[in-house]
Structure 1
Amino acid sequence: MRHYRGGPGEHVVWLNFKDAAHPLAGGAEEYLHQVTARMASRGQRVTIITSRPRRAARTEQVKGVTVRRMGNAYTVYLLALLWLFRHRREIDAIVDTCNGIPFFSPLAVGKRVPVVVLIHHVHQVMFAQHFGFPMAQIGRWVERAGNRLVYGDRTIAVVSPSSRTEVRRVLGLIGPVHVAANGQEPLHVPRAERAAVPRIVCVGRLAPHKRWDLVLRALSRVAELVPDVELHLVGDGPCRAELTALVHELDLADRVTLHGRLGNGPRNRLLASGWLTVCASEVEGWGLAVTEAMSLGVPAVVLASPGLRDSVRNRQTGWVVSRPQHLAGQLTSALIELEDRDTAALWARRCRAWAGRFTWDATADRMMGLLAAEDARRVSADNRVTCDLSTVVDLPVRLATRIDYTRLRDVDQVDWDQPDPQDPGAMRVRVLLSGYDEGDATALLNRLGVATDPAVTWVWVARPADLLGWKRAAGSRAGDLRPYFAECAAVGSSRP
């Protein structure tokens, strides 16, 4: 039996339908490459198994990761299973990405290898958009019943709290579900200035489920009250011709620009000039394009779809709209509010602070923690793992030094304030205890000798928003946290 601890030399296989070389690559592929590159940088041997688009190399090294491409959109699943079976004795852990259709890796490796299922979002609605009868019905059955039959109670990673809800309510999966949110690369545009006129900038694939037609129809109504509004849409896809025709049908050609794909530099400069970004997708695992815009200080208006409603903090970093028919009204009121530069600057500061909480380092740390936790579950039973409840413990740094974070589980997480140079001792530390209620958390603190006075230590059951933006996983790789907190507490206590 193989074991995974997240250490150097261990072999992780990541299964994903596409990689960055695929012409339809998107957010899931960004997640794939960002996390695997960080695993490789820590000395792990990482192999990506994916489909092979035309003219792509069969084998390639990408940032220290071996990418093996095989088969097309349909045959890759069988070929991947055969490859896994041949190499099953050389694999320490598997991340099995379910993009509607999972790879069913346990059929090839059995219980000898820890498997974490990664689900960006549920595809039940999208099968009907892309397939007819009976393929849509078969796809829905495979995603729902097939997942339950093959993966059983294996650990599931999702990228947002609403995806977790969908996995439970729609798919009915029974394994422990943990949030491993998207990170993002910090975006910076030197000397960026917002446009002189109200400008909406959107980035995304021109695909049916993105529903850009809703944005265009809303824009024609926004223009009645904001006559100089303009929309810039960056991206390409199968709906481009249809959207171009709709622009002319709605007489919006003088205020809408379809840029197609842009390089990172031009895209980021255009995005930084926006007053707003908008996303009307029917379903998303996470609004990566939205948080990227926020990192440049641009707030967002989004529909309350799974994933999107998590990436925006309503009325703090943007606006969450409950129904498509309210989109035009919210866009209008947001643009009018942002006309005031001081107000816009306040929104920008909140957006940058929120987006700055999501890093790929934290995502990679989280995924390695989930793999290690899944490995540990095979060895020793844990009666908390099937409970979706989590509890947050918020305590001053002087008390945080009493906790040995390596003795917490790999699924638990830690976050902390940036030390204030003027008062480091005022720093607070937060711990997310997965599978605990308030009573369990208080009992744990008592065993650790941590004061549970509610005036000092705050304990509450985690809300969906509390599951996002954590810096580190606890457990075996968290040995540096206690010394760091002790140093911060010592500096604070030495101040006069």
Structure 2
Amino acid sequence: MTTTNSAPVERLTGKNLLVLNWRDIRHPQSGGAEQYMHQIAVRWVKAGATVTWFTSRGVAQSAHEVIDGITVIRSGGALGLYPRAAAWMLASGKKFDGVIDCQNGIPFFSPVFLPRSMPIVQVVHHVHQDQFATRFGRPLAAIGRFLEKDVARFVYGNRSIAAVSPSTRLELRRRLGYTGPIFVVPNGTVELPENVGPRDPDPTIAVVSRLVPHKRIDLLLGQIAVVVESIPNLRVDIVGDGPEKDRLQGIAADLNLMSHVTFHGYQPNEVRDALLSRAWITASTSAAEGWGCSVIEANAWGIPCIALRVPGIRDSVVDGETGWLVDEARDFGRTLIKALEEVSDHATAESTTKACRVWAARFTWDRSAALLAGVLVEETGATGASKTQRRRARSDMSSLALFSTPPKFNPSVSLRATDEAIEVDGRTSVLLNGCDETDAMGMLRRLGVFEADVRLADRDGILAGPSGAPHADHELAGLDDPSRGRPI
């Protein structure tokens, strides 16, 4: 595979980069946010970048460690981290060529402590305005909301933001009032297993989740109690641990569900995968997410998801193709029964499995690393296309162009580092960020393309990139085999 627009990760070779994150991958409470940045940083290190990760110090963790080539510096606890990070940036920050500032509710405010010319990209998984009240008393919650919204908006100004989903971008616009460029850089996921199934002979639901309040597993259990009245042989496997485990087991007992529901606790990957591979569907009753990591992991095993239509999760599920979205919690059980009935049909189950796996294949950590690298490269103003090319649309608008590849096609002439292009069997598909149809046509003419199908990209197109979403009528050849695509 060759990249000419040009593999943004390769442009980080030789760069000294700083990652600010409240935890690292080996922290006792590490989660999806740490997995996201770690997977990306590992790929940057392999490309020749130097990555330093400044973070908090968990129980029994050392102050310094090298993990997969990433130099990890730990100092302070959950809140003490931030003043220590500020002092460390003032002392050592000038040596870096770029910064990834991961915002986990409380920003690091890195622009205050680093040179004004320093390229800084904020990574935001989700907006925490509602969550502050669930963790802090009223005064501290108010301070948290003020820091995340008003202070952060002032400090970071119009610097680029990488949001993990369109839902998060929308929340940043509507709730926090951010007006600068926001690019969608979704999570990657596990590699698709070569074989899936066979599934359990009985209707089976597998849920992989941390057992914490906002996941609302209690709501799911209440709906399961309704479902078993119609499907008495239903089995539910819940994989994961957390502070809610004892309470949830008590609820299951009160609802007489212990013969249907098994709490497996935390399990190693091979056990988790074995449970997923035999499931019929997975489920999510979460209040909101930045992105549905567990949804896409289940999709990789061909497992569709039934979920409430909430931020993040609604981006992860292609309604009617890779799962079912439910608007009201009271309708969840009824929809769950319908979903299980649908996938009990062999042909429906087979087509759904295929759609799920095609969708999951779009989300790779290599692509995530390239997309975030592209945002950082653009923030440095290092690309010629950025300087010479005018785009009237802001970053939220994207266009998808599909055309026959010209003999001397050279996308580096006009493509930005945040754009994506893929070629399959002589046909090229390009996703142009911050670009409306008029701008797109002008760009294509500079590339020597005079006939193309150009349209505004929808949510699924933005998430899946130029290779597209799992729609049956998508025009790009080779969609059912993501490996056929050749990034250009």
TM-score w.r.t. the length of structure 1 is 0.88
Distance 2:405 2:393 in 1: 28
The change in CA–CA distance for 1:337 and 1:383 in structure 2 (over 3 A counts) is: closer
Provide the residue aligned with 1:436 in structure 2.
435
Distance 1:122 1:388 in 2: 17
Provide the residue aligned with 2:470 in structure 1.
none
The 5-angstrom pairing of residues 309-324 of structure 1 reads 309-324=314-329
Could you say what secondary structure the match of 1:125 adopts? Answer: coil
Distance 1:99 1:357 in 2: 26
How far the C-alpha of 1:383 sits from its partner, in A, is: 6.1
The 5-angstrom pairing of residues 26-425 of structure 1 reads 26-188=31-193, 192-376=197-381, 384=392, 386-398=394-406, 401-405=408-412, 407-417=414-424, 424-425=425-426
Bigger shift: residues 403-412 or 458-467: 403-412
Provide the residue aligned with 1:468 in structure 2.
463
Distance 2:340 2:117 in 1: 56
Could you say what secondary structure the match of 1:346 adopts? Answer: helix
Could you say what secondary structure the match of 2:464 adopts? Answer: coil
Please list the CA deviations of residues 41-73 of structure 1 after superposition, one character each: whole Å capped at 9, or x if unmatched.
Answer: 001000111111110111111111111111000
Equivalent position amino acid for 2:446 in 1: R
Equivalent position amino acid for 1:467 in 2: I
How far the C-alpha of 1:335 sits from its partner, in A, is: 0.6
Distance 1:133 1:113 in 2: 36
**Alpha carbons 1:438, 1:461 under 8 Å: kept:** yes
Could you say what secondary structure the match of 2:175 adopts? Answer: helix
Distance 2:144 2:311 in 1: 20
How far the C-alpha of 1:261 sits from its partner, in A, is: 0.4
Please list the CA deviations of residues 208-266 of structure 1 after superposition, one character each: whole Å capped at 9, or x if unmatched.
Answer: 11111111000000111111111111111111111111111111111111111000101
Provide structure 2 residue ranges, at least 5 long, that are not aligned to the other structure.
Answer: 1-8, 468-483
Bigger shift: residues 307-316 or 383-392: 383-392
Equivalent position amino acid for 2:306 in 1: V
Provide structure 1 residue ranges, at least 5 long, that are not aligned to the other structure.
Answer: 418-423, 473-487, 490-496
Provide the residue aligned with 1:14 in structure 2.
19
Could you say what secondary structure the match of 2:465 adopts? Answer: coil
Please list the CA deviations of residues 136-159 of structure 1 after superposition, one character each: whole Å capped at 9, or x if unmatched.
Answer: 111111111121111000000001
Instruction: Provide the aligned length of Structure 1 versus Structure 2.
Output: 458
Equivalent position amino acid for 2:405 in 1: V
How far the C-alpha of 1:384 sits from its partner, in A, is: 4.6
Equivalent position amino acid for 2:438 in 1: G
Distance 1:144 1:416 in 2: 41
How far the C-alpha of 1:351 sits from its partner, in A, is: 0.5
How far the C-alpha of 1:366 sits from its partner, in A, is: 0.7
Provide the residue aligned with 1:420 in structure 2.
none
Equivalent position amino acid for 1:171 in 2: L
The change in CA–CA distance for 1:227 and 1:15 in structure 2 (over 3 A counts) is: same
Distance 1:5 1:264 in 2: 31
Bigger shift: residues 124-133 or 360-369: 124-133
Could you say what secondary structure the match of 1:124 adopts? Answer: coil
Dislocated runs of 4+, deviation >6 Å: none
